[in-house]
Amino acid sequence: MTTKLATGLSKGTNSAAVAIEALLQAKEKLGECRVDLSMVYSSSLYDHGVVVDAVRKATNNAPLIGASTAGEFTEERVEKGGMAVGLLCSDDIKVFTAMAQGVKQDPEAAIREVVANLPGNVVGYPHSTAILLIDGLSGVGEEATLLASYLFGRELKIVGGMAGDDFKMEKTFVFSDDKVCTNALSVCLLASKMPLFTSVKHGHIPLGRALKATRTEGNVLYEINDRPAWEVWKEETAEAARKRGIDVELLKTPSKVAQFFTNYMLGLAGEKEEQHKIRWPMGINKDGSLNFTCGITEGTVFRIMDGSDLEKQISAAGKAVMIARQSAENAGYSEFAGILVFDCAVRQLMLKDRFSESVDRFKKIIPGVPLLGWETYGEIRLEPGQFSGFHNTSSVVLLLPNKATS
């Protein structure tokens, strides 16, 4: 049997009914195949406990992972305020799930707990990929990702995302089997006979000079070049913003500031100079400090990035899946069971009515393949040997070959 992914997407007012509708869509596509893993990505509008219970009962209690979201999509359409369900069936992939709470207070303890509850090397399945889902407001996305890479103690690819809540910024949830928790992380370990292929891409370019984070604490950036962070941010972006009709001194309300930050983010240099890793400022505190979705290390040198070119943002999605496909083809895989996408919620804010064009790029590069995607508060992609795996305003792709080579 080959690997098979099937998807469903629904929207409504009744949590159980919406979950069952999305699930039945996926099961119809899956046919007679058993369900080895359910993936559930649900808007904050729904009762997640009810959703998880409904899916588990209808799949004979198959392992389940998922999270609350800020948008959902499949190969059929894009939705907001909906629920996307993916069902995986495979003889070439073994699935293991685990969850730990208290991630905000102690991400290391949380990672150690899930590692202790997951198997080591699985005989006959030499490749390991982890899907890591984290409370989107915990502020420990980078820390948890790096700890997972280290504490699993094996060659491990990691992809995933930070849970969302439709930009309410109040509470986010992750799911694991029957559990629905906030301040938690959920891990799904995929042990496979064939490699799975990952990639990441964003559409930002550096705006100006290099800057230094001179005072930070956790995920809060207090000072840049020994001055209040927000004051420096305004100065550095004022000219570019003015060309777009924005006066930075008039950005007073949280909504206007949030929209401004969708285009002007923090960029850390990656392995190559042109490969910046994006960090999203979620908001401004009264003292002018900035909150991020992961820790910002004191002394970090960065640049403010410009993401206002919508064509670059749209094409980034296509480039992400193209990179994953090329890696797969280089390894001898040309047929695929599905595409899993962890896409930044801010990209949806930036692109607005054009967001569906971005999703279309995934489908154009690998047509006719099931696609399951959701909008995150931060994206995760870490390959063995890399030293940073957290991203913002990016598209992360996990590409599933449909069978192991003989």
Question: Do the beta carbons of residue 239 and residue 330 sit within 8 Å?
Answer: no
Percent of the chain predicted with pLDDT > 70: 98
pLDDT band at 273 (very low <50, low <70, confident <90, very high): very low
Model confidence pLDDT, tens digit, residues 228-247: 999 999 999 999 989 888 99
Mean pLDDT of 45-68: 97
Model confidence pLDDT, tens digit, residues 33-44: 999 999 999 999
φ/ψ (deg, to 5) at 128: -125, 130
CA 269 to chain centre: 20
Rounded to an integer, what distance in angstroms lies between the CA atom of residue 340 and that of residue 200? 12
pLDDT band at 20 (very low <50, low <70, confident <90, very high): very high
Beta strand 379-382 pairing with 157-162: antiparallel
pLDDT at site 270: 60
Residue 199 token pair: 């990639």
pLDDT above 70: residue 406: no
Rounded to an integer, what distance in angstroms lies between the CA atom of residue 298 and that of residue 217? 8
Choice among 15-29, 170-184, 374-388 with the minimum mean pLDDT: 374-388
pLDDT above 90: residue 262: no
Q: What angle do CA 75, 19, 9 make, to 5 degrees?
A: 15
Model confidence pLDDT, tens digit, residues 293-311: 788 889 999 999 998 889 9
DSSP 233-260: HHHHHHHHHHHTT--GGG--SHHHHHHH
pLDDT at site 238: 92
pLDDT band at 353 (very low <50, low <70, confident <90, very high): very high
pLDDT at site 121: 87
Model confidence pLDDT, tens digit, residues 132-181: 999 999 989 889 999 999 998 778 999 999 999 998 989 999 999 999 99
Radius of gyration of the chain (CA): 20
Rounded to an integer, what distance in angstroms lies between the CA atom of residue 36 and that of residue 254? 43
pLDDT band at 208 (very low <50, low <70, confident <90, very high): confident
Count other C-beta atoms under 10 Å from residue 367's C-beta.
Answer: 8
Length of the chain: 406
Rounded to an integer, what distance in angstroms lies between the CA atom of residue 363 and that of residue 292? 31
Bridge partners of 376, per DSSP, are 344
pLDDT at site 272: 53
31 dihedral zone (left: phi>0; alpha: psi -120 to 50; beta): left
Q: If you average pLDDT over every residue of the chain, what do you get?
A: 92
For 90-167, where are the E strands, in sequence order? 93-101, 127-134, 157-162
What helix, strand, coil percent values describe the chain, rounded to 5? 30, 35, 35
Task: Output the 3-class SS for 281-336.
Answer: EEEECCCCCEEECCCCCCCCEEEEEECCCHHHHHHHHHHHHHHHHHHHHHCCCCCE
